[in-house]
Amino acid sequence: MVGQAQTIEKLKELGRNLWWTWQPGVISLFRELDPALWHETDHNPIAFLQKIDPSRLIKQAADMALDSRIDYAFRRLNEYLENKASWGAIHASNLRVRPVAYFSAEFGLHESLPIYSGGLGVLAGDHLKSSSDLGIPLVAVGLLYDQGYFRQSIDSNGWQQESYLNADPDLLPIEPVLDKSGEPLKINIDTHSGVLQAQLWKVEVGRINLYLLDSNVAANSASDRALTSRLYGGDAKVRIRQELLLGVGGVRALHALGYHPSVLHLNEGHSAFATLEMIRWKMETESVPFGEAAQDVAAMTVFTTHTPVAAGHDRFPSQLVEEHLGKLREELHLSYDDFMGLGRVYPSDMNELYCMTVIALKLSRHANGVSALHGQVSRRMWQPLFPNKTVEEVPIGHITNGVHVGTWVAPQMRLIFDRHLGVDWPEKMRYPETWAAIDTVDDAELWETQQVLKARLIDFVRNRLVEQAVKRGEPEAAKAKLGSALDLNILTIGFARRFATYKRANLVLQDVERLTAMLSSIDQPIQLIFAGKAHPEDRFGKELIQNIVKLSRDSRFEHRLVFVEDYDMNVARQLVQGVDVWLNNPRRPQEASGTSGEKVLLNGGLNFSILDGWWAEAYDGSNGFAIGTGQCNSVPSVQDERDSRDLLKTLNEEVIPLYYKRDMSGLPREWIARQKSGFRSMAWRFNADRMVMDYVQNCYLPAALGMSCVMPRS
Instruction: Provide the binding-site residues for ligand PLP, judged by CB under 6 A.
Output: 118-119, 122, 497, 567-569, 572, 594-596, 599
CB of 523 to ligand PLP, least distance (A): 32
Cα separation values, 168 from 4, 44, 172, 211, 565, Å: 25, 12, 7, 17, 23
d(CA 648, CA 665): 29
- Three-state DSSP class for 550? helix
CB of 109 to ligand PLP, least distance (A): 11
Q: b/e for 376-402, b at 16 or more Cβ within 10 A?
A: bbbbebbbebbeeeeeeebbbbbbbbb
* Residue 85 CB neighbour total at 10 angstroms: 8
d(CA 505, CA 533): 11
Considering Cα of 487, then 490, then 495, then 501, what sign does the dihedral take? negative
Nearer residue to ligand PLP within complex by CB, 322 or 568: 568
Cα radius of gyration (the chain): 25
Nearer residue to ligand PLP within complex by CB, 519 or 610: 610
d(CA 4, CA 210): 31
- DSSP bridge partners of 670: none
Among 661, 686, 679, which residue's Cα sits nearest to residue 671? Answer: 661
CB of 682 to ligand PLP, least distance (A): 15
CB of 484 to ligand PLP, least distance (A): 27
CB of 178 to ligand PLP, least distance (A): 33
Residue 82 sits at φ, ψ, to 5 deg, of -100, -5
CB of 231 to ligand PLP, least distance (A): 13
CA-angle at 275, arms to 704 and 257, nearest 5°:
75
Nearer residue to ligand PLP within complex by CB, 11 or 508: 508
Asked if 146 contacts 229 with a C-beta cutoff of 8 angstroms, the reply is yes
CB of 128 to ligand PLP, least distance (A): 15
CB of 470 to ligand PLP, least distance (A): 24
CB of 595 to ligand PLP, least distance (A): 5
Among 515, 523, 524, which residue's Cα sits nearest to residue 556? Answer: 515
Helices (H), 182-317: 222-225, 236-244, 250-256, 273-286, 290-300
CB of 193 to ligand PLP, least distance (A): 35
Nearer residue to ligand PLP within complex by CB, 454 or 497: 497
Nearer residue to ligand PLP within complex by CB, 245 or 403: 403
Nearer residue to ligand PLP within complex by CB, 122 or 469: 122
Task: Provide the CB-side half-sphere exposure for 118 (13 A, CA).
Answer: 18
DSSP string computed for 322-372: HHHHHHHHHHTT--HHHHHHTT-SSTT-TTSPEEHHHHHHHT-SEEEESSH
Nearer residue to ligand PLP within complex by CB, 45 or 594: 594
Nearer residue to ligand PLP within complex by CB, 11 or 572: 572
CB of 506 to ligand PLP, least distance (A): 16
Task: Provide the CB-side half-sphere exposure for 200 (13 A, CA).
Answer: 26
Nearer residue to ligand PLP within complex by CB, 400 or 596: 596
CB of 448 to ligand PLP, least distance (A): 26
Q: b/e for 282-297, b at 16 or more Cβ within 10 A?
A: bbeeeeeebeebbebb
CB of 575 to ligand PLP, least distance (A): 9
Cα separation values, 236 from 269, 316, 654, Å: 15, 7, 47
CB of 568 to ligand PLP, least distance (A): 5
Look up residue 141 and give its amino acid. Answer: V
Neighbouring residues of 698: CB distance < 8 A, sequence distance ≥ 6:
366, 397, 399, 709, 710, 711, 712
Nearer residue to ligand PLP within complex by CB, 44 or 596: 596
190: DSSP letter: E
CB of 498 to ligand PLP, least distance (A): 6
Nearer residue to ligand PLP within complex by CB, 147 or 407: 407
Q: How far does the chain reach from its first CA to its final CA, in angstroms?
A: 64
CB of 433 to ligand PLP, least distance (A): 27
Nearer residue to ligand PLP within complex by CB, 449 or 595: 595
Nearer residue to ligand PLP within complex by CB, 530 or 557: 530
Nearer residue to ligand PLP within complex by CB, 209 or 378: 378
Among 237, 353, 356, which residue's Cα sits nearest to residue 304? Answer: 356
Asked if 199 contacts 225 with a C-beta cutoff of 8 angstroms, the reply is no
Among 169, 112, 113, which residue's Cα sits nearest to residue 140? Answer: 113
Nearer residue to ligand PLP within complex by CB, 118 or 702: 118
d(CA 122, CA 124): 5
d(CA 285, CA 282): 5
CB of 599 to ligand PLP, least distance (A): 6
Nearer residue to ligand PLP within complex by CB, 572 or 693: 572
Nearer residue to ligand PLP within complex by CB, 584 or 623: 584
Helix 569-578 with 443-472: angle, nearest 10 deg = 140
